[in-house]
Amino acid sequence: MDPVQWTGSIDPEVPSAARMYDFFLGGMHNFEADREAARRVIEAMPDAPMIARVNRSFLRRAVRFLVARGIRQFLDVGSGVPTVGNVHEVAQGLDRDARVVYVDIDPVAVTHAAQILAGNDRATAVVADLREPAELLNLLDHPQRRAVLDLSRPVGLLLVSMLHFVPGEPAHRAVTGLKDALAPGSYLVISHPVSEGVDAQTAGRVQGVYQRTATPGALRTRAEVERFFDGFALVPPGLVWTPQWQPDDDVAEADLGAADPRRVGMLAGVGRKPD
């Protein structure tokens, strides 16, 4: 499936959260400005690459969980630059008919996703901004996307390690807008870095680096993250440190954040929209 044609331009001098994350994960889709910014994050927070791996492991576990619960459609918003174990690979590996729409604000991430998805008529990628949920839903209403994602049936909405790039109330408004558009029986998957246990100096240094990107980030409290699940029922074990969410061998692979899951500094949860 073709992505929405994106007509803007990329400034390789401005670091991007998507490409910095790609660098943390050892990917190749980043520019010098991204690498330089990512190195500054690692200087302030040496665990950053480990946290990215642990987060990817959570994403894979959550997708497997949803497929086991009968979900065959995924809307992955803030999907990032494709890397090992993408949502469509995990889901379609379990059921080849699983469908995925990737959405990201970063055109490099979406262009690369579209290349990978060429020839796959059950997955597509679009450039869109979570802060504009009505536009995003409008894009999904396009015949090409409707062929992939049927919003009248349950969907797995993935907002994994991305909501901190949408500070304040706009994120809550956007998530509410998307949740309202989902059919009963849909699931919401979130991981989110939190302020709990983070020293202010480290947080300030990392935030300072992201200020130079197009999507400056902000940490939230546990209660603020929990609020995203309002109206949805959290499945066990609830909102927990990311490595603690239904751990399996995949967690061990991601080297876990060693013995202390709090070290990851990121909460994860999966909620279900009631019937």
- Per 3-state DSSP, the chain is made up of helix, strand and coil in percentages (nearest 5) of 45, 15, 40
Find residue 190's DSSP bridge partners: 159, 269
Query: Is the Cα dihedral 7, 214, 191, 55 positive or negative?
Result: positive
CB of 215 to ligand SAM, least distance (A): 4
- Nearest residue (CB) to ligand SAM, 26 versus 184: 26
Q: CB-wise, 56 or 99, nearer to ligand SAM?
A: 56
Shortest spacing between CB 154 and ligand SAM, in angstroms? 20
Token pair, residue 241, equals 């440190």
**193 versus 261: smaller Cβ distance to ligand SAM:** 193
C-beta of 92 vs 191, nearer to ligand SAM: 191
Provide the pairing of β-strand 240-241 with 187-193: unpaired
For residues 214 and 235, which CB has a smaller minimum distance to ligand SAM in the complex?
214
Residue 10 C-beta-side C-alpha neighbours within 13 Å: 18
Q: How far is the CB of 181 from ligand SAM (least distance, A)?
A: 16
User: In the bound complex, what is the minimum distance in angstroms from residue 125's beta carbon to ligand SAM?
Assistant: 11
* Residue partners of 101: CB distance under 8 A and separation at least 6: 74, 75, 76, 123, 124, 125, 126, 140, 145, 148, 149
State the nearest-atom distance from the C-beta of 232 to ligand SAM, in Å: 19
Helices (H), the chain: 17-24, 32-44, 48-68, 87-94, 107-117, 133-140, 143-146, 169-181, 200-210, 222-227, 249-253
41 to 81, 174, 228: CA distances (angstroms): 18, 28, 27
Q: How far is the CB of 199 from ligand SAM (least distance, A)?
A: 21
Residue closer to ligand SAM by CB (options 22, 226) is 22
Residues that bind ligand SAM (CB under 6 A): 17-18, 21, 55-56, 59, 77-80, 104-106, 109, 129-131, 160-162, 165-166, 215
